[in-house]
Structure 1
């Protein structure tokens, strides 16, 4: 005759007192209460593993937090899984992992992991721009959204108002950055595939506009404007420095004294500050060195050659030259980045070797194989070209307004 187990009552469980050793109270069908010496009471389901066919215990919860009625219900659910060949403990573990992944792998958290790697391959200013765009346009709506539930329609709906404002370039960049993040999530096994591939087709394409720059014949006008402009000495020197060195706005504005070797007449910009993450060496002409001599009394005791007016411990903003050019009347005609185009056009018209011009601009060869093997920066061969360029700038100045020599610059300020 089969042994019958008397079902437990709530009163009986409450009345159970701790003993020197733990003991069990049985409710039947494998459901038990383990009473521990410290007085705690734990629900257990003793069952046969559906695969291993061994007896094992499954902890259901603590009494009285898990009541008798609810413990019986949880035990029934577990037995239903066992009947289907599913181990309830493994099922619970999987559910907890999925729940954890849902809260842990949000777009914000995944973006942080992606950005930690991304920022090593770009300049600090570009990194700041990327993260700021996500904070401004994406995170307010999707920060806490698990990446596995993000869909193309969800993102398109978010970006459509930005497109409606006419900010097509912003939409393009956000779509590109979100695609990179979701590719990262895919490669990390957080999603099975990137759902945002091809979302750019849902938006208008921004019209490609050429960088505003001057023609070589207009260089005298620019030099004359710089000499007569009502701008600060640091700004004046920064414009000239960028023009003579042919560097990008952020590279010029962020110049540090420690990067400059006056004895060797070379300015070495470290990879961390370069767009292509390669060290860039620039031969310094006499005119460029004259600009440094003017800056020495102002910033020689500080980190940056061109310190910020508001905070001398920081460098000038990379938009300083742009703002100055606007005030000088060049809005729509010239932007700071266009100074590089002006130099490039002039040097190419003068038949300087294309490789030397490209090296001076710190451009990486589009031919990946050639770029991999051709690591030379043609430093020595670039010296005559840079000397010619600085001399050309100086000759473009008119009379006493020559601002590319130290004495004339000081007189004009």
Structure 2
């Protein structure tokens, strides 16, 4: 005897809580509500045609109500029973797609919630601030699938015109990550990532690099060390700057330094030849102060192979901008 599925109610749907894994609530007739582990609720419909089982999306809840989803399901069942053809060749596209589609702002806020457990609070806050200032005013209320390449380029031009090219690069990256993460999780609902067709270098120009003169005056060196000591920003950045001031290597050597290169017992840091411009291994002696500094740095690098990992990802090194901007 076939299992009888009791139809869903609005109260059940609203009270459906997010769980560690995606789960479903059946409504009968092949339709069910899929509750994603990230909190999204999506209407799905499973049906058979020519001996093959197919599954389609009927929309996202609450933009697509329970009643709306049932109408789509019932229409599909009628076509399957009477016409023996795929019903979704006609009705997969809603009459008013803007009612169903989430806006970029809604997807961006979903993205921020997703990364909040992976990245530092400061990074999440910066990303949200960037969206509110430079993105939402232009594409925030647009359905995500209506956003074109030209809309992203327009944002980049506006930021470039106010001499905020470095911020524009970060903003572009954040927009791209929203699309990429949304597509990876919901490929049926996001058509494409419009940022992939954009050459950012052609839009806002080549990234400018700036060289800084070496400090030879002992007084200036003392001022630099005091400024580093008084730095109140990210702890890892302060530690990296302090180490740089003591070991006299290139900043990139410090940023890319790995724990496997350091011998705290022998009090030395062996930089591999492939990381050196002369392509020759360099042995850097470590003072007592740097040994103590590295012991502190270990607490902030957690399980990373890098001594100074990025706040965004423990697998990536601290950025050059993090040190220069401090």
**TM superposition score normalised by structure 1:** 0.38
More relative contact order, 1 or 2 (CA 8 Å, 6+ apart): 1
Q: Who wins on radius of gyration, i.e. which is larger?
A: 1
